[in-house]
Amino acid sequence: MSSALAGLRRYQEAPRTKRRMARAVKRQGHARLRDYGGTGRPVLFVPSLINPPFILDLMPGRSLMRWIAQQGYHAWLLDWGEAQPTDRDLDISGHIERVLIPLMRRFDTPPVLVGYCLGGTMSIAAAVSGACAGTAVIAAPWHFNGYGDTRGDIASLWEAAQPGCEQLGLVPIEVLQTGFWKLDPARTIAKFEAFATMSGDEAAMFVAMEDWANSGAPLTYAAGAELFEQLILADAPGLGNWHVAGKSIDPETLPCPAIEFVSLADRIVPAATAIGLSNRRELGAGHVGMVVGSRAREQLWEPLRHWLATLP
């Protein structure tokens, strides 16, 4: 406990450098597209609604966005922006229908969608309902019954938080973080214990990753309710009961090439929740490590580039 508390204090006091993301050039409500440059086919990265998008542009040498922009593609990042209480009725489906799909239509040629975490789940729905050239999903949950017994803890969390969230019109990030902690509480303590003795690049990476994990805009109330009630607890996507833009979302009916990257060591999105696409790549890194870890380029970035090169 002493080591964990020492690591926590060290994290709180660690120096930070100002983060610089690419400029925003297109907007849709509170959301905006950030242009990372490059030439060639547009590739639109769709992060989760939970936590900020900069995990895909974390720090020099650990930026999937900037790397893809150097590989012969025009890289774009969707920044969902910050919801306001007046947006309370915009659910997850509404984010797809009123933000993601309209932005997709503003490209001169259909983009390839690359969705991370819940952004991958949403990308599948957008690909079924809108025009895109291909869909790659990374650690995207679909069969939410794969969370097993933890769904009971999540149900209790939502039951306690729901009245306050309904009054606010928002679901604060703290409510969502509590849900993540419940997935593996021992690991939350262990990682700060380990950080107490880290140094150099390893320590800088830890701070950057934790800053991402501990920050983020609130969800709209409707998005939070749909996430907890329809996705996690009712498993609507996995049971074929999720409807977006007037269509039942079935990954087997995707009208474009698709691939999923699944981590076998993921505690946030366990492999048991994966979509089950026929084109599947399995990785050994964790939920965040697969995107920014020391082996991310080998395990994810390069296979993603290879798949992009196969698209017609």
Is the model's pLDDT at 184 over the cut of 80? no
Closest to 64 (Cα-Cα) out of 26, 107, 99, 116: 116
- pLDDT grade, residue 183 (50/70/90)? low
Task: Please give the pLDDT value at position 47.
Answer: 98
pLDDT digits (tens, 9 = 90+) for 66-98: 999 999 999 999 999 999 999 999 999 999 999
Secondary structure (3-state) at 28: strand
Question: For 265, which DSSP code?
Answer: T
Cα–Cα dist 112/121, whole Å: 15
- pLDDT grade, residue 100 (50/70/90)? very high
pLDDT digits (tens, 9 = 90+) for 192-219: 999 999 989 889 989 998 899 888 889 9
Instruction: Decide: 141 and 273 in contact? Cβ < 8 Å.
Output: yes
* Average pLDDT, rounded, for the chain: 93
CA 13 to chain centroid: 27
Characterize the bridge pairing of strands 112-116 and 42-46: parallel
Characterize the bridge pairing of strands 280-283 and 258-263: parallel
pLDDT digits (tens, 9 = 90+) for 110-142: 999 999 999 999 999 999 987 899 999 999 999
